[in-house]
Amino acid sequence: MAGLAAPATATAAPPAGTAPAPTVEERRLDGEVPGEILRRSGFAAVTPAFAHEL
């Protein structure tokens, strides 16, 4: 029959309580360059309070 496609393969959802693996961008956040950018921007002083509020 024209226009019909095979159903997608089902995958199991990860168990509850497990976080997804961090992305490449998230893994880079602890590097020297992002830290330097944060320090030079003047926002480094408010980072701890911001993280606490999250």
pLDDT tens per residue across span 1-53: 566 776 677 677 667 778 889 999 888 888 899 889 988 999 889 988 988 99
Give yes or no for a contact between 50 and 38, defined as CB atoms under 8 angstroms apart.
no
Domain hosting residue 31, numbered range: 24-53
What does pTM read for this prediction? 0.43
Q: Please, how many CA atoms are within 13 Å of residue 35, restricted to the half-sphere of its CB?
A: 5
Q: Residue 54 pLDDT more than 90? A: no
The tally of domains found in the chain comes to: 1
Give yes or no for a contact between 24 and 18, defined as CB atoms under 8 angstroms apart.
no
In a domain, residue 13? The reply is no
In a domain, residue 15? The reply is no
In a domain, residue 18? The reply is no
Residues 6+ apart with CB under 8 A from 34: 28
